[in-house]
Each structure stands twice: as C-alpha cells, then as structure tokens.
Structure 1
Amino acid sequence: MKSNFQFSNLCGTVYRQGNIVFTPDGNSVLSPVGNRVSVFDLVNNKSRTFPFENRKNVAAIALSPDCNVLLSVDEDGRALLVNFRRGIVLHHFNFHNPVKDIKFSPDGKYIAATHGSHIQVWRTPNHLIREFAPFVLHRTYTGHHDEATSIEWSPDSRCFLTTSRDMTARLFTLDPVEGFRPKTFAGHRDVVIGAYFSTDGKTIYTVSRDGAVFTWKAKPSEIDSDDDSDDYQPIASSSSMADSIANTRWGVHKRDYFNQPGTRVVCSTFHRASNLLIVGFSTGVFGLWELPAFSNLHTLSISQEKISSVAVNASGEWLAFGAARLGQLLVWEWQSQSYVLKQQGHFSTMNTVAYAPDGVHLATGGDDGKVKVWNATSGFCFVTFAEHSAPISAVEFAKAGQVLFSASLDGTVRAADLVRYRVFRTFTSPTPAQFASLAVDPSGEAVAAGSQDNFEICLWSVQTGKLLDVLAGHTAPVCALAFSPTGNLLASGSWDRTVRIWNVFGRSHAVEPFQLSSDVLAVAFRPDGNELAVSTLDGQIVFFDVAQGRQTSMIDGRKDAAPGRKAGDTTVAASGGAHNSLCYTADGRCVLAGGRSPYVALYDVRASVLLKRFKTSENLSLEGTQEMLDSRRVTEAGNIDLIDERGDESDVEVRRQRDEELPGAKRSDLARRRVREEVRTTCVRFSPTGRAWAASTTEGLLIYALDEGVVFDPVDLAMDVTPQSVLSLLASRSWLPALITAFRLNERALIHQVFSTVPRDDIRLVVRGLPQVYVGALVRCVAEALEGSPRVEFVMVWVKAVLTAHGRYLRDRSGEHAGVLRALQKALGEFESLVVKLCEENNATLAFLVDQMKMKRDQGLESIGDVEMLAA
C-alpha cells in the first residue's frame, strides 16, 4: 500500500477574505481560500490550489506582471514569495505589520505595500537567483495620519497613489523629484476606498466609502494675488509622464455621487484602458460607471451580503467579485450579462463527504442544509440540492453512481437523480426522527437511516419509497451505519456501546451484537465484506471478523487523534482523542481515520501500526493547530489572539457587526461574542480507484492524491542534455532522440514543442522506438495535447500509435499508469462529446438548409405556374 499521498486540490471553499487578482492574460483568477491560494482557470474550467500554506489566513495577494512571482501575505504581515508557475515557495518575509494592500509596479521591478500609516516600496526579488536577503527596501513614504488602505501605480511605474482612513489620498513619486512635495487630495467626508490614474496621467479619480467620486485635474494657470506662490507649480513641459504628474497642481474638477441610499461603497477598481469604474456596495450590488462622464452602464445585485473584493481582467470584459460572508466567488461578463463562473461553498460546517463509484465526483453535505456535488478533476461544484431544511448528517452514492442519497436532521432521507438533477424520492419515518447516519444497499434497491432520538433504524425501498422495516434494539442514538459490500448484512453502531449486525433481507432477521468498552463513533466494512472496523470514543479502533463474530485486532489511536491546543487554554493540550470517521483503502489493507484533530491517520490493519499522519492544516487562525503553547503570544492580559482590538474602531459598520455578535445572534457558539473556528476532520473517504482520498474539514474539502508527476532524476541527465541540444536535434530531423532528450529534461513546453514538430508519417516509427520508461510521460503529453490542441487528427494519430505499440505494456502496468490512462480517457471522452455535439448542430443546420431550398423551389414552381397561367 502506497502512503506517499500529497495534497492535490481544495474544493468546497472558493473565497474567504482578501483581494481577488486576475492573471495578466485575463484567463484565470486567483482567490485566497483560508491560508492557501486557489487559481481558477476560466477558459479550461479547472481550478487548482497551491500546496503552500501561510501561517494565518491570507489578507492580500499580488501577482507580478510577467506572471512569474506571486506574493501572499497573511493577517500578521508574514509573506511568502512563490514561483507562480511551479507553486514553490522561494522566500519567507515578515513585514512586521498587517498589510492592507500590496501591488507590483507595472514594470514588475518594485513592490509597494501598506505598513500602518506608511508605505514601503521594495525591490522585486529575482526568482531565478537564490539570494540570502532577497527583499531590499527601496524607500519608506510617510504623510498619512491614519492607516493606509490602498495603493495604485501610475502607468509608467514612476508614481503611485495611496488612500487612507484619514479621508485623504496622497501622491508619491518612486524616486525623488526636484521641487516635488507629496500631494494631498482632501475633501472627502469618509474613508477613501481607492484612487486611480487615467491612461494619460492627466486625471486622477478618488472614491470614498460614502459614495462620492472626485475627479482631479490640473488647476488653471492663472495666479491670484492672494495665492501663495510656493503652493503653485505649473504644468511641466517635459514629455515624461512622471514629471507631468509630479509637477501638476491638482484641483477638484468635478464631484459625482452614486446615489445608492442605505448602502456604502466597500470596494472598487478601475479599468484604465476603457475608463470603467467598478464599485461593490455593502448590499451586494455592483455597478459600472464610465468616467469622466460618470454615466452608469450597469447595476446588478449579485449577492445577499456585501461584496468584499472586486477585480477586472486586462480586456475589461470579465469582472470578479468575492463575498466573504457567504464564501462566494463570481465572475461576470458584463457585456453579455452572463456568469463566467459562479461558485459558492457551504455557508457553514461541512459535515460529510462521499465518493462516486467513478472516483471523479464527490458529494458533500453541510450544516446549511445543502448537498453539493463536485468534480474532483476540475474542482468545481456543478449541482446543488437545497431541499433539506436542516443540517445534512450523511450522503451516499448508489453503486451505479446515478443516484445520490442524503440524510438530514429534518427527519427525511432524499434521493436525487444525477442525470436530471432533481430529487425524485423523499423517505420519512412513521414517527418524527432526526437521522444521523445513512447506508445504501450495494444493489441500490434499499436505503437505511439511523435515528438519534428514537434509536431506531428505518429501511426503505428505493423504487417504491415505502418503508420496509423498522429495526429496533439500540438504546442510544444510532450514529453509524454500513452495508456489507457483498452480502445482505447491515452493521449499526450506537452510543449504547454496541455494534449490531442485522440480516435485513433474511427470514430470521438475526441480530448479532458486539459489546465494546465505549460509545461507537464510526463503522466501516472491508471491501470484501469479511471484516468490520469500529471506532470508539476512547480512541480505540477495533476489528471484528464478521463470519466468526469475534474480535481479531485493535489499534490504539488516542494519541494520533489528540486535538491541538486552543488559544485560550491554560493547561496542556489533551493527550487523547477519538476518530469519528473511518474508511478502508481500496485494497482493504489499511484504514484511514480522522477526527477532532488536525491530523488524518493511515493505519496498517495487519500490523496494527500507524503508517503515516497527514496534517490537514497549518493555519494558526484556527483553533487546535498547535500542540504547544507559544509563550511569545501570552501577555498579562492573556493571549494576544484573543484580545479584541476592534473597540477603537470608528467605523459604523464594524460597530454594527459587533452588535450582531451578541449571544443568541452568532451562528457558532452562542455563549461567546467572538468565535474562532476549530480545525477538525468531520469525514474521510477513500476513492474507489485507490489513487486518492478526500476529507471534509474546517478548511473545506481536501483531496490528497498519489504524486504521479515525473520525478526529476539527475542520474538521467548529462552535460549534453540541454534545451539547445533538443533544438539542434529537431533541426537535424532526429525526432526520437529529440523526444527522449526532452523527456529527460522534463520541461513541459519543450516536450510539447517536440511533440508537435514530429511529422505525421514518422509518428508510428518514433512511438515504436520509444523506451518503455517514457511511455507514461508520452501518454500524459498526448492527453494534454488532446485537451488543448486544435490539431485533433494529428493527436489522434499519436493516440492510435501509442496504444498499438505499447498497449500490452500499459495493460500489464495499469495500476502504475492509472493516472495518465484516466487523463487520456477523460480527454477522449470530452473530444467525443464535442464531436457528437458538433455533428448534431451540423445535422440541424443541414436539415434547415434543405428545408429552405425545398421551400424556395416550391415557391419558384408556383411562380412559374402562375406565369404560364397568365400567358395562357
């Protein structure tokens, strides 16, 4: 059993807080998700989450103009400099102050970051050279009297505008300019949200939170006698934009107002090329205004809560919005008035997860009463069922994978059709009950649910919806159910410290109880149905032989499931815990367990040992991620993280939010005014393919998969293995040596270049001579080319050649190459559906043209007949 599972993706969370950023090409959007960063590819409909983690929740991100460097800053001001293309952390840096905004200059040479009431500009580190101290401070700019909130660079990267809570904006130059003093743009009556340059640098726009937009231009050149000559600086005749901006005497040219009653401006951005101002309001409404005319182009309500962040891509066609309270991420194409992307995670805790039999789709249920189905490949949710009116306790797929069952505390079990995306059956019990567990018969004909108030198990027929049986015998809530994969046995676990195995379809209805030492939390059958694993409240995992009815082994998992230390704890962390979710691996040799701790444990059943522990989160913004007390965070007033520093806020909205956090109005712990989420794993499930597993956690739906990427092997390299040698081999028409050299270098762009250069007539010969060690890499390259290349026939020739020459090798090592084979199968399936859709459209078009021709011909014959009649 392989245990080298690596973090693969994060689903279920699309936005938490911070700013949203588009890539320079405008095809992808970056969104902070907790202490990680996700990238959503809007063209290929895929998403991926970087494996690196910040210490705390991400507060601001910035992407360099050349798309090479990503800067991620957490709430404490600790930053990670990341190679964006590789997803590898290059440097760690601490700004020693919370960062509200951080921006790369348009030329990519500098980074400007807010630092309290100051602005710091740093030189951009080189991502190609390893440096001891990569961050070099260029200059610190002062002048604001309160916390700075935003930064905007001029188009030539020589000046920048800053805004602050002191209701002003200020203009700074990157380098000292003779006779220049920082300009102050005052006059707003509320916090200035943003300040922006026009394309030519002759106009500046400032936006305040009360809905005012000021347009600033150069003052007239005449001088009043009462004016102080020191305050006047004429417009510079220099051709440099920086000199022109610095030497301009700015004045208010026009004042405009949004006139949105009962709301405030929360965020804004400006698209310089098209002069579009995009504004997000606290009521979930966004609007587009064209400047300087200030004409309203579009206004739409897209969220029930305030819009926390807004971004616009380079072309100005797509707008991205993030709503932190709802966890929403929206990408809107304003010209066609359609959604490019609309994703939202569970509003509250994610309780359960289930894998579909194909291993591609997952279903999750949360406290918000919604059931969501996700695509593990793309990372997107494609359907949401919101029929339940209470938290979801369990979800299960039928064996065919086309029906999804969900149990809820509202007393119903619902069956949803994943072909028509509708709930077609609702199961209820004779007496009102809250269902806490769910199990589906392997044949898909029966479904069972366990109650937590009347301690009964209800069994229904899926086809008729009728209640088949009520199984009674437990004296405490039934918290776990599992059907045997091969037989008609149903295992139920309860808080009465027993596990019962029911013969539900037999005549005898025999029940065999297993007595345990503590309350049962989870049960799971081995894939062959001969063994049952039971997790108990005292941290033990007990294994039973189902046929003989006896205990075979036991694993002590108390230390592995121990919760971490909370910020308010004054004693050491608990030394023991329990796993509340169990599942067997696909081969049945190991058990995956998770509970109220930051770890998910993988155990070997035969040896009864721990193979590996996976830490689901390093986020210090959550409770329970640390095992030891950090004495640096402890003061005389207690832990710094628990001290509420918002008491000095003058913001009316913040004070209103504090009033809503009174006991009884908080949706988490009703006894506390301020609640920090605790890291925990509510459910773990192994993929049927055995190549991945998923865990529903506080952070979202984490997916771990086996690392199938080609590992860099320095032994396979030599002095002559260089990109130049590959190009020279291509020039000499040595296709096979060029392809092998490219695989040895493992450079994706170089591999695809060689792949696309090979002539069609030589493909069979090249594939036949390729060593078997590179067959998997070639299949992956073919799958990627089939997804993105317009040369479909050329790629299909490669597919046929690979399967003909190396099909037997791939079949014999299907487990080793399962990942690339699935990628190829997926690409072929998508191509097939595309061709089918295209053929159907062509058939409809041809039928329409034929009908039109027949109609015109009939009309022509009728006109000829009329002429002949007139002539007669």
Structure 2
Amino acid sequence: MHTGPVLSVAFSPDGKRIVSGSQDCTVCVWDAESGEMVTGPMNGHTDWVNSVAFSPDGKQIVSGSNDTTICVWDAGSGEIITGPINGHTRSVNSVAFSPDGKQIVSGSDDHTVCVWNAENGEMVTDPFKGHTKCVRSVAFSPDSKQIVSGSEDHTVHVWDVDSAEVVSGPLRVHTNGVCSVVFSPDGKWIASGSWDKTVCVWNAKSGEIVAGPFNGHTKSVNSVAFSPDGKQIVSGSDDNTMCVWDAETGVVVAGPFNGHSGWVCSVAFSPDGKWIVSGSVDTTVCMWNAGTGKVVADVFGGHTDQVRSVAFSPDGKWIVSGSWDKTVCVWNAKSGEIVAGPFNGHTKSVNSVAFSPDGKQIVSGSDDNTVCVWDAETGVVVAGPFNGHSGWVCSVAFSPNGKQVVSGSWDTTVRVWDAKSGEVVCGPFNDHTSYVSSVKFSPNGKQIVSGSWDSTVRVWDAKNGEVVAGPFHGHTDSVWSVAFSPDGKQIVSGSTDKTVCVWDAESGKVVGGPFSGHTSFFESVVFSPDGKWIASDFDDNTVLLWDIESGKLHSHLMRGGSIQDSVL
C-alpha cells in the first residue's frame, strides 16, 4: 500500500493488472480483478514517482521520478532490471515505452525530451530542444516514428524521432501549461490536457484543432487518455473528478465521476475500453465502469499519500501505481484490491511506473534518483535500484520488447538501461540543458523522444544515444509532455507556453500548430489511437480536441481538475 499521493496509474496490456506510482517513492502492482497488491511496493527511487507504464509485453514497468532517474522493473518480482537511468538534470515527469518496446521516451523539468535505448539505457539521440519550460508529458506515436510532447510553456510539439525536428507545432491554443498529451490509437489525432482546465484534440499532421477546447472541469486537467477505439477521451482533474468525452463533439458522455477526496492525478482506459482506472492525491486508486461512471472496485487503499503515476498491465487485469508514500502497489483492476505490494525500496517519492510488455515486471522512477524493476507478482526487486541519475527520475518507460528501460530526470539527462542487469546500455544523453519531464519509445523501439524544461524536444537513437532529430525549437517554455503518433511519423508536445505542437518526427518541422487555445499551464497531450486527433489538457480547466489534418479546434471541454500523468 502506498503511504503518499498516487501520481500515476496504468493498466497492463492485458488489463489484468494496474501499476501505480506515488509520492512515497514506490511503485506497486495490483490485481485488476481483486484489487490486491501482487507486487511491491517497489523501492529504488529516492523521490516522487511521477510516471509509470507497462512495457508492451507487460513484463516490465518503467517509472520516472523527481529523483531525476528512470527505472525499469520486473513487473512480476518487483526487482529493478534496468536503472536507475541517469541523464536528465531535473525531475522526470513522463516516461513511456515505444510500441515495439525497444525505446523509452522521457520528458523532464529540464525542458527536454529524450529517447533512450530501452535495453542499455543509453540515449539514442540528443535531447529534443524546443520547449522553453518543463516538459510535462511525452508519448510515442503508434508506429514509433513520432513523439508528442506537452509543456508548461503552453505548447504541444510533434517531433520526428529520427531527425528530432518539429513536424507539427508548437501547437498553441492552451492558455496555460500542457500537463498531458497522447496520440490516438491510429496516430492521426493528439489529445492534450492543460492547467487551463480544458482538453483539446489536434490533427497530428496539420496541428489544427479538430475538437475543443472541451470545457467542464473547474480546475486543472492533469491527465487525458483515448479509449482503445479512439472515440472517447477520459480526463482527470484537480476538481477531484473524471469525465469521459466524445472525442469528436466534446460532449460529456459519462461523468463527472465523483469519489476521490483529492486531485485526480492520472487516468487510463483498460485495454478493452470497459474500465477506467484513476490515481489520486487521496492516496487511492479507483476502478470505474467507463459507461456508467460507477465504482466497480472499492477504492484501492494501498497508498498513504498521493498517487503520482498509474498504468495498466498489458492484459488489462492489473494496475500498477507509484506514490509519494515511496511505494509501488499492484491492484486487481476489476475489484480494486491490492494483489501485490506495497513494494518498498525507494527512499523517496515514486514519480513514474509502468508494466513491462509481458506484464511480469514493473519499472519505477523516483525522487531518490533511482529506477527499479520489480517482479509484478512478488514485489521483489529483480533489477536495481539503477544508480546513475543525479536528480529525480521524472519519467520511465519500457521498450516495446521489454528488454530496456528509458528514464528522464531532473539531472537533465536520459538514460537507457538493460532491464535485466540494470547496466546503462546507452547514455546518459546529455544534450538537454534542463529537466527532462517526459520520455517515450517510438512504436518500433528504435528511437526515444524526450521533452524538457529547456523548451525543446529531442529524438534519440535508442541504440547509440545519438540525436537523430532535434532539438525541436518552437516552444517558448517548458515541455511537459511528448508522445509519438501511432505510426511513429509524428510527435506531439505540450508546453507551459500554452501551446501544442505536432512535429514531423524525421525532419523536426512543425506540421501542426502551434495550437493555441488554453489559458493556463500545460499538463498533458496525447494522440488518439487512430492518429487523427490530439487531446490537450491544461490548468485552465479546459480540454481541447484538435483535428490533426486540418489543425482546427474541434471541441472545447470545461470541467475541472489537474492531470499529472496519463496512460493510453
């Protein structure tokens, strides 16, 4: 059980488990059906775990932490298999595996986005520079060719993974920091959530808003995620609620979901789209019926402080969470009972957690500057803690094949670790000049995208750590979130400059945006599963939905909250 706020949650690929990251510096894996902790708490990070995610096969978990490191954990044993991955100079806010599991992208407070070789932890490209403030969220496109990033500079960028150039953006519509960004399943759209309280959907190619801003939340939107079919978007907010929106019209189709007694930091759909998992500062993880908004699993009471990061296991049965209570917990996604954990090992908040592609391991990143890989079932640290980062690990992610972990850190670097040995196989990637807040692998695992507080996005060669694209310049403030489009050809980024940008992952040219519309700081941006839309959420209580091809704002949602981490 976590002893601090849960900052990030995510389902495993099969939906059977849930991973969570917390301010307690730990990562936990839970049985999605029973709610019991099956692995954890995973200890290794020395500070908050901001972001967690499962690897494509569900065997590993990647985590990003305030300790500037990224860790890859064995989702089954809870042992660190790679990390801590060092490279960022400030907190790692967001991490993600590429669809093929070969790369990890991280976004950091150092304004940069980095791409790491998931197997050796080395930076594959120089940091992507373009954001002028903290990068809050990053994500790979489905084809691993692009990365989207969201930043406190109010913008979203889409980067070409190979060239690190902005192919779309900076997208400027948000009026405050972009906290969360994600590609749609088909890679055509990007969704972003912002401190301006709105959610936006963007055309990943043109950068035009296709839907939004969605208004409904009354406070910052912290996390956004597309449903598996790309037709709906879920958002979590500082107003303690969650909403499910029609991605095209911006109409609230379910919610607001009430139940949490604190900010909702992270939300994610289960692989089958029937359930939604949420992590909150009230230290709990909840499982909801996506259609009715009813709690289908009792509040996961494993954490004792804010939940910083959550993620589903590949089969969707488990959810792992990382919390400020320094622990990692694994929950049954259906019942909400702890199936593993709390995993203890980190000495500070756990900022980011994620399952490995096979769902057997969990990776966590912590403010203790380390990354840990845990056995998801036993909570045993199978690799780590990975030492190397000199600052908080803000974002971590497994490579698509689960062999490597990428981490983004406050030390301004990105590292790629061998998920099994914990050795740095690539990195540190040192080109970012400020915190790396978000990192993610490209879908094919060959590249890593990173977003940073240095206002840039970079695409790295996951194998040799060379910058293959970038730095992408366009944002005027911190990049908080980045993500690849489903086909990997574009990258979306969100920044505190209140804009979202879509970049050509190869050339780095802005192909969409900057999308402007939010009035507050950026929290997150994401592509829709089909890649046609971009959703952005900001601290201005709005969620904007953009049409990537036309670049037009499709919908503007208003609700209320702040989303720290999102998982698609």
TM-score under structure 1 length normalisation: 0.33
What residue number does 1:3 align with?
Answer: 33
1:6–1:707: 8 Å Cα contact kept in structure 2?
no
Q: Residues 422 and 610 of structure 1: is their aligned pair in 2 closer, same or farther, counting only changes over 3 Å?
A: same
What residue number does 2:106 align with?
Answer: 406
Letter in 2 for 1:473: V
2:191–2:200: 8 Å Cα contact kept in structure 1?
yes
2:285–2:299: 8 Å Cα contact kept in structure 1?
yes
What residue number does 1:609 align with?
Answer: 294
User: What is the Cα deviation at residue 401 of structure 1?
Assistant: 0.9
Unaligned runs of 5+ in 2: 1-30, 336-568
Q: How many angstroms apart in 1 are the aligned matches of 2:313 and 2:81? A: 19
1:393–1:407: 8 Å Cα contact kept in structure 2?
yes
User: What is the Cα deviation at residue 706 of structure 1?
Assistant: 7.6
Query: Matches of residues 798-837 of structure 1 in structure 2 within 5 Å?
Result: none
Q: Deviations over 1:593-640 (max 9, x none)?
A: 11111321111122221112243437xxxxxxxxxxxxxxxxxxxxxx
> Is residue 513 from structure 1 mapped to residue 209 from structure 2 by the alignment?
no
What residue number does 2:66 align with?
Answer: 367
User: What is the Cα deviation at residue 705 of structure 1?
Assistant: 4.5
Query: Matches of residues 216-255 of structure 1 in structure 2 within 5 Å?
Result: none
Q: How many angstroms apart in 2 are the aligned matches of 1:706 and 1:351? A: 20
Q: Residues 500 and 589 of structure 1: is their aligned pair in 2 closer, same or farther, counting only changes over 3 Å?
A: same
What residue number does 1:447 align with?
Answer: 147
For residue 33 of structure 2, give the secondary structure of its aligned residue in structure 1.
coil
Q: How many angstroms apart in 2 are the aligned matches of 1:399 and 1:4? A: 28
Letter in 1 for 2:184: S
Indicate the structure (1 or 2) with the bigger Cα radius of gyration.
Answer: 1
Q: Deviations over 1:185-221 (max 9, x none)?
A: xxxxxxxxxxxxxxxxxxxxxxxxxxxxxxxxxxxxx
What residue number does 1:542 align with?
Answer: 243
Letter in 2 for 1:696: G
Q: Residues 501 and 509 of structure 1: is their aligned pair in 2 closer, same or farther, counting only changes over 3 Å?
A: closer
> Is residue 438 from structure 1 mapped to residue 100 from structure 2 by the alignment?
no
Query: Matches of residues 111-150 of structure 1 in structure 2 within 5 Å?
Result: none
User: What is the Cα deviation at residue 484 of structure 1?
Assistant: 0.7
Match for residue 696 of structure 1 among 322, 331, 354:
322
What residue number does 1:637 align with?
Answer: none
2:139–2:181: 8 Å Cα contact kept in structure 1?
yes
> Is residue 686 from structure 1 mapped to residue 371 from structure 2 by the alignment?
no
User: What is the Cα deviation at residue 507 of structure 1?
Assistant: 8.1
Query: Matches of residues 543-582 of structure 1 in structure 2 within 5 Å?
Result: 543-557=244-258, 560-562=259-261, 578-582=263-267
Q: Residues 404 and 607 of structure 1: is their aligned pair in 2 closer, same or farther, counting only changes over 3 Å?
A: same
Q: How many angstroms apart in 2 are the aligned matches of 1:348 and 1:443? A: 33
1:11–1:374: 8 Å Cα contact kept in structure 2?
no
Higher strand share: 2
Higher helix share: 1
Q: Deviations over 1:322-351 (max 9, x none)?
A: xxxxxxxxxxxxxxxxxxxxxxx1111111
What residue number does 2:87 align with?
Answer: 387
User: What is the Cα deviation at residue 370 of structure 1?
Assistant: 0.4
Letter in 2 for 1:609: K
Q: How many angstroms apart in 1 are the aligned matches of 2:126 and 2:298? A: 39
For residue 36 of structure 2, give the secondary structure of its aligned residue in structure 1.
strand
Q: Residues 346 and 607 of structure 1: is their aligned pair in 2 closer, same or farther, counting only changes over 3 Å?
A: same
Q: How many angstroms apart in 2 are the aligned matches of 1:378 and 1:537? A: 33
Match for residue 96 of structure 2 among 396, 404, 412:
396
Query: Matches of residues 74-113 of structure 1 in structure 2 within 5 Å?
Result: none
Give the number of aligned pairs: 301
What residue number does 1:350 align with?
Answer: 49
> Is residue 526 from structure 1 mapped to residue 152 from structure 2 by the alignment?
no
User: What is the Cα deviation at residue 506 of structure 1?
Assistant: 4.3
Q: Deviations over 1:671-722 (max 9, x none)?
A: xxxxxxx6121111111212211001123221235899xxxxxxxxxxxxxx
Q: How many angstroms apart in 1 are the aligned matches of 2:245 and 2:225? A: 11
Unaligned runs of 5+ in 1: 14-344, 564-577, 619-677, 709-872
Q: How many angstroms apart in 2 are the aligned matches of 1:707 and 1:597? A: 20
Q: How many angstroms apart in 2 are the aligned matches of 1:487 and 1:350? A: 28
What residue number does 1:722 align with?
Answer: none
Q: Residues 420 and 684 of structure 1: is their aligned pair in 2 closer, same or farther, counting only changes over 3 Å?
A: closer
1:436–1:479: 8 Å Cα contact kept in structure 2?
yes
Q: Deviations over 1:489-508 (max 9, x none)?
A: 00111111221100021486
User: What is the Cα deviation at residue 11 of structure 1?
Assistant: 4.7
What residue number does 1:204 align with?
Answer: none
Q: How many angstroms apart in 2 are the aligned matches of 1:450 and 1:473? A: 12
Q: Residues 691 and 509 of structure 1: is their aligned pair in 2 closer, same or farther, counting only changes over 3 Å?
A: closer
Query: Matches of residues 150-229 of structure 1 in structure 2 within 5 Å?
Result: none
Q: How many angstroms apart in 1 are the aligned matches of 2:167 and 2:315? A: 33
Q: How many angstroms apart in 1 are the aligned matches of 2:334 and 2:181? A: 33
Q: Residues 581 and 507 of structure 1: is their aligned pair in 2 closer, same or farther, counting only changes over 3 Å?
A: closer
> Is residue 589 from structure 1 mapped to residue 274 from structure 2 by the alignment?
yes
Q: CA RMSD in A?
A: 2.3
1:412–1:426: 8 Å Cα contact kept in structure 2?
no
2:40–2:327: 8 Å Cα contact kept in structure 1?
yes
Q: Deviations over 1:52-104 (max 9, x none)?
A: xxxxxxxxxxxxxxxxxxxxxxxxxxxxxxxxxxxxxxxxxxxxxxxxxxxxx
Match for residue 426 of structure 1 among 126, 142, 146:
126
Q: Deviations over 1:96-146 (max 9, x none)?
A: xxxxxxxxxxxxxxxxxxxxxxxxxxxxxxxxxxxxxxxxxxxxxxxxxxx
Q: How many angstroms apart in 1 are the aligned matches of 2:67 and 2:243? A: 33
Letter in 1 for 2:241: Q
For residue 12 of structure 1, give the secondary structure of its aligned residue in structure 2.
strand
Q: How many angstroms apart in 1 are the aligned matches of 2:248 and 2:91? A: 36
For residue 104 of structure 2, give the secondary structure of its aligned residue in structure 1.
strand
What residue number does 2:161 align with?
Answer: 462
Identical pairs, percent: 24
